[in-house]
Amino acid sequence: MRNKFMYGIIAGGMIGMATSAYMSNSMSPRQRRKLMRRGHKLMRRSHNAINKANDMVDVVRNIL
């Protein structure tokens, strides 16, 4: 869980960096697309892990 969360934090930073570079026109469109693609992949993976963890917490709460 902790590793997946870190992936999400890193991916969020990558997306933020790509967005800010795009706003200041300091990054080529090709580089920005590569960075955003990696960031979206990591975000999707971390989102799935967080959802699974929340489901497990709900199951434990219902049992107790």
Tens digit of pLDDT for each residue in 14-50? 777 766 666 666 667 777 677 677 766 766 666 666 6
Count how many domains the chain has. 1
- Does residue 62 surpass a pLDDT of 60? yes
In angstroms, how far is the first alpha carbon of the chain from the final one? Answer: 22
**What pLDDT sits at residue 37?**
76
Give the number of other Cβ atoms within 10 Å of residue 58's Cβ: 10
Residue numbers of the domain that contains 43 = 2-63
Structure tokens at 60: 């434990």
- Does residue 58 surpass a pLDDT of 70? no
- Does residue 1 surpass a pLDDT of 60? no
